[in-house]
Structure 1
Amino acid sequence: MKTCRILFMGTPDIAVSMLNRIIADGYDVIGVVTQPDKQAGRKKELKMPEVKQRAIEANIPVYQPIKIKDAVDELMQLDIDLIVTCAYGQFIPSKLLEYPTYGSINVHASLLPKLRGGAPIHKAIINGDKQTGMSIMRMVKAMDAGPVMAQCVVDIDEMDTTGILYDKLAKAGAKLLSESIPKLIDGTAEFGEQDESQASFAYTISKEEEWIDFDQDVQRVYNHIRGLIPNPTGYALLDGKKVKFHKVRMRKDDKVHTPGEIEGMIENGYAISAQNGYILVDEIQMEGKAKTDAKSFYNGSGKQLIHKIFNGK
């Protein structure tokens, strides 16, 4: 295999899967560009991105510019054959994208042109999609709009959360990337322009989107909640306090329900009414408390909350 000097750019855990495959495939990773360390937790301690942790383990130089445009000249001093990005988190200047011998590609967690943007995995589940996938595309200035060279389909199961789907896509994307890089090197890669008329967008989850509205069909409520698991986690308000839902199931029926009413235990889950059914909560967290399983919650304070109604934002 011809030697290929790769500059990798990514930040969260899904990007680590891509970096690991590049390393395992024997490419020369000459540097990793990732976001700056951020404060996390109640103690506001600095936490490094997952990609940085992996790069340090592999003795790969790490670059963490606050603004990537300020690091372009430094990075262009490197002898780069290919730039590979995955969930990096900043727009990369065209000057840098066009610099490598084989150009720059991005690994994106959707079937482009569907779900461009920063939260394609969350939105695929929230939207109730049955399938999603991974795409590898040429990087251009517009967000996730470059010509596509490879895609693979991943099924979304009824019980999948964003966390579960995240793992499926990470594995599928790493395999797709491994198959694609040799084609770039030997010149057999073929790119097809995206159909702009089919484009949709999956912008980063807003604080407002974390609120769960039970006054909808139970399927939509269920999709919304599981699309926010494990992060950022959906919530509803009860007596002015947040209640978070960490693990849920769904039960459909044709009875008339009062949306948001707490019904007690049904099928070993803490049941909350929605239109046409119930959300059965298996792990729940009251504001200021640790998360707990449904049975323990019910036997504690949960029994006294029956017939109360979640409402408001």
Structure 2
Amino acid sequence: MGTPEFSVPVLEGLIDNNYEIKAVVTQPDKKVGRKQKIAKSPAKIAAEKHNLPVFQPAKLSGSEEMQKLIDMHADLIVTAAYGQFLSTKFLNSVKIAAVNVHGSLLPKYRGGAPIQYSLINGDQETGITIMEMVKKMDAGDIYAQEAIKIEPDDNAGSLFNKLSIVGRDLLLKTLPAIIDGTVKKIPQDPDKVIFSPNITKAQEKITSEMTATQANNMIRALNPDPGAYMMIQGKRFKIWKAEVADDHTDLVAGSVVAKKGRFALSFAEGTVLNLLEVQPSGKKRMDIKNFLNGQGNKFTSGEEIVDK
């Protein structure tokens, strides 16, 4: 059970290691882009490549599809970023266990956006938890964990890619002990639970009230999807890549800091952010050199350009 690219290495790993996949469950196809083309999930594309049965209920609980899955009496359910709650009835239908590959070091970051929150909060590390599934969100006992360092240039996309491989390998290493019953489960400490709910539309907006570090963390967390933005002179201005500058400024937050071949903005506490890859409203993504050669050359040093 999975939906985004994160889930694909897990599925492929199970297939490559001769686990029999009875079904792949993923979210329904959805319309994407300006032309609203119908797109299959990465998990569905991978499943079809291997001629596996695919189930895509809009809501799994109470659906005909769920009853068909229950009637399969599978040994295991394996989920990796599926995106829906699983009922107790369904979880209890398997012969051995329902196992989740979760992108954080639980009990830190239960919920739908653990990788993004590790970046938003400026964490030094993140990781994978292989856990037993229960009806309560990400609250089951822990089978295994593995941590990785968050590098300064990591964003959500690079961490998703790294963690999908760590998740695949840790799952394959842990499953035999789950199957033969020798695995030792560790309960989560309820006093250390931190939640990571899905990113809201409001969180996508960067304001000059943030420090440069806070703004940069949000930019990294929202790259590649959906992207962070500022409002500059009444227009949405997306920032795909930036870096916290070494220098500080006395300028009002939201001002252009002396350019000299760069495009930098002032933020709270005198901090400065160098913008490296941007997307002005109605334009394609571009590096800062191209921006400065076009729209960017109209801004002057010291000018306050960021809307409140």
Q: Give the letter for the 1:309 counterpart.
A: I
1:175 equivalent in structure 2 = 169
- Equivalent runs, 1:97-176 vs 2, <5 Å: 97-176=91-170
C-alpha distance in 1 between matches for 2:82 and 2:274: 36
2:17 equivalent in structure 1 = 25
Q: Give the letter for the 1:72 counterpart.
A: M
Structure 2 residues without counterparts, runs of 5 or longer: none
Task: Report which stretch shifted further, 138-147 or 287-296.
Answer: 287-296
Q: Give the letter for the 2:17 counterpart.
A: D
C-alpha distance in 2 between matches for 1:118 and 1:202: 6
Deviations for 1:121-172, whole angstroms, at most 9, x for unmatched residues?
1110000110111001110011100111100001111221111111111111
Structure 1 residues without counterparts, runs of 5 or longer: 1-8
1:53 alignment partner, one of 45, 53, 67? 45
1:273 equivalent in structure 2 = 266
- Structure 2 residue 289 is matched with structure 1 residue 295: yes
How far 1:214 moved relative to its partner? Answer: 2.3
Q: Do the aligned residues in 1 keep the contact of 2:99 with 2:132 (CA within 8 Å)?
A: yes
Deviations for 1:190-245, whole angstroms, at most 9, x for unmatched residues?
11111111001111110000000222222112111111111111000012110000
1:39 alignment partner, one of 31, 44, 47? 31
Task: Report which stretch shifted further, 63-72 or 130-139.
Answer: 63-72
Q: Give the letter for the 2:267 counterpart.
A: A
Task: Report which stretch shifted further, 74-83 or 122-131.
Answer: 74-83
- Distance change >3 Å, CA 125–CA 255, structure 1 → 2: same
Deviations for 1:54-75, whole angstroms, at most 9, x for unmatched residues?
0000111100011111122111
Identity of aligned residues (%): 39
- Distance change >3 Å, CA 257–CA 308, structure 1 → 2: closer
- Equivalent runs, 1:188-199 vs 2, <5 Å: 188-199=182-193
SS of the equivalent of 1:83 reads strand
Q: Do the aligned residues in 1 keep the contact of 2:249 with 2:257 (CA within 8 Å)?
A: no
1:249 equivalent in structure 2 = 243
C-alpha distance in 1 between matches for 2:215 and 2:256: 15
1:6 equivalent in structure 2 = none
Q: Give the letter for the 1:205 counterpart.
A: I
CA RMSD of aligned residues (A): 1.3
Deviations for 1:29-78, whole angstroms, at most 9, x for unmatched residues?
11100010001111111111100000000111100011111122111121
C-alpha distance in 2 between matches for 1:250 and 1:84: 40
SS of the equivalent of 2:119 reads helix
How far 1:251 moved relative to its partner? Answer: 0.8
How far 1:260 moved relative to its partner? Answer: 1.5
TM-score (norm 1): 0.94
Q: Do the aligned residues in 2 keep the contact of 1:263 with 1:271 (CA within 8 Å)?
A: yes
Task: Report which stretch shifted further, 219-228 or 124-133.
Answer: 219-228
2:6 alignment partner, one of 14, 18, 28? 14
Q: Do the aligned residues in 1 keep the contact of 2:249 with 2:266 (CA within 8 Å)?
A: no
Q: Do the aligned residues in 2 keep the contact of 1:265 with 1:298 (CA within 8 Å)?
A: no
SS of the equivalent of 1:265 reads coil
C-alpha distance in 2 between matches for 1:304 and 1:124: 36
Q: Give the letter for the 2:50 counterpart.
A: A
Task: Report which stretch shifted further, 299-308 or 206-215.
Answer: 299-308
SS of the equivalent of 1:76 reads helix
- Equivalent runs, 1:63-102 vs 2, <5 Å: 63-69=55-61, 70=63, 71-102=65-96
C-alpha distance in 1 between matches for 2:45 and 2:257: 45
Q: Give the letter for the 2:265 counterpart.
A: I
TM-score (norm 2): 0.95
SS of the equivalent of 1:30 reads coil
- Structure 2 residue 299 is matched with structure 1 residue 311: no
